[in-house]
Amino acid sequence: MVNRLRLTEKLVRDLMPDVDRAYQIFDTDVRGLSIRVMPSGERSFVLDYRFAGRQRRMTIGRWPEWSVTAVRERARELRRLIDAGTDPLDERGALREAPRFKDLIDRYLAEHASTLTPLSASDHKSFLSKLVAPHWGNKLVAEISPQDVASLLNLIAEGRARPSKAKPNNRARKLQGRKPTPVRANRIGEVLRKMFNLAIQWGWRTDNPAQGFKKRVETARERFLSHEEIARLADVLDAAKDQRAASIIRLCMLTGARVGEVRQARFEQFNLELGIWSKPAATTKQRKVHRVPISADVAAIVRQRSGSVPRGNPWLFPGDVPGQPVKEIRRFWIMVQREADLPGVRIHDLRHTFASLLVSGGASLEMIGKLLGHSQMQTTLRYAHLMDSPLRAGVDAVAGMVRPRPKLVHNADAEPKAKRA
């Protein structure tokens, strides 16, 4: 005999398990809805129904995670689907097989990361796994909304607590305030927009929730080394034990190249007779071949490395792993910062310093952009204000040449007296 009662919270709570078997009590309000009590005492809400001549059973959820009121409303929704000709179990199966954001990450890295430089691909993999996947990993791609994108980017833009440099071994350092990271939020927003565009191409969703994400205002970092700081840096590099890492820093300073381009430099890229360094597209940020002139000092470093690197090794700076270039010089740079008294200076600031020295030498913005490999003039315009001083000096020089000489003014009081005499 089928037990039928109106399900209530009190009724469900007071049900006692049968140690020999599971049993059901059906609800009198919604046809097919029941509470199923297991010998262990676990209680689950179940919907029994017939579809296309087959008897079906669907578990909605467990009590008390699902209240009687909530499960009854869900059961009514499922009944409406059944009446409309949709089998809820088939729909659940399709939903279970639907791609989730972690699947989108895997396919994006597998199919799109190959078009990026190794460094960019590594960066994308890192921030997607550390900053995005923990929030969206199991979320269905089709369910992510513009509000989800905005909330995530707001969280990223707030930054995270930074360890205290004053007390590196103090666990309380984690209690420091957050450092805003608007640049990171903007970069991740651009990657998400690309990923969802690909998801549309793959038929995983029909729109792009990151299409109109709000870009944060970025304050360009403008840290240029002074002549005194450059001299201190040079002294520390000359005295360093690790001359392989020291030469990487020197090339960054002398060419304005990115540290990744220098680390992956090969001997075949340098034409010392013509004084040219041809960077392959695989190592440049713009994915284009970039040819730049090099100075005699750079050529001397290349020749010195040629004499110290084993014959047949193509890398200017071979790493500790056979067949690979040096991976990173972060620890070396930390030592250089300390010894040269350059707190807060990044290796990338050497690139900015290179550009500032070009400006002081009279180079045009167009020339600077070509030497740095900028694809857009807008990127080079960050150095435009550095040209104010030489321009002002030029204007003052012209003014000095055309300025009229001051006329001698006679004593106005003495002149009338002379006339009266």
pLDDT confidence of residue 361: 75
CATH 1.10.443.10 segments of the chain: 227-396
* Residue 75 clears pLDDT 70, i.e. is over it: yes
**CA of residue 105 relative to chain centroid, distance:** 14
pLDDT confidence of residue 411: 58
- The two tokens of residue 264 are 């992956």
Q: May I ask the CATH architecture of the domain 227-396? A: Orthogonal Bundle (1.10)
* Residue 375 clears pLDDT 70, i.e. is over it: no
% of the chain with per-residue pLDDT over 70: 81
Mean pLDDT of the chain: 82
* Residue 406 clears pLDDT 60, i.e. is over it: no
pLDDT confidence of residue 220: 61
Do 289 and 278 contact (CB within 8 A), yes or no? Answer: yes
pTM score over 0.75: no
pLDDT confidence of residue 143: 86
Question: Assign residue 41 a region: left if phi > 0, alpha if psi is -120 to 50, beta otherwise?
Answer: left
Of residues 210 and 118, the one with the higher pLDDT is: 210
CATH 3.30.160.390 segments of the chain: 4-96
* Residue 159 clears pLDDT 70, i.e. is over it: yes
Q: What is the pLDDT of residues 217-273, one digit of tens each?
A: 766 667 788 889 999 999 999 999 999 999 999 999 888 888 888 999 999 999 999
pLDDT confidence of residue 68: 92
State the fold for domain 4-96.
Double Stranded RNA Binding Domain (3.30.160)
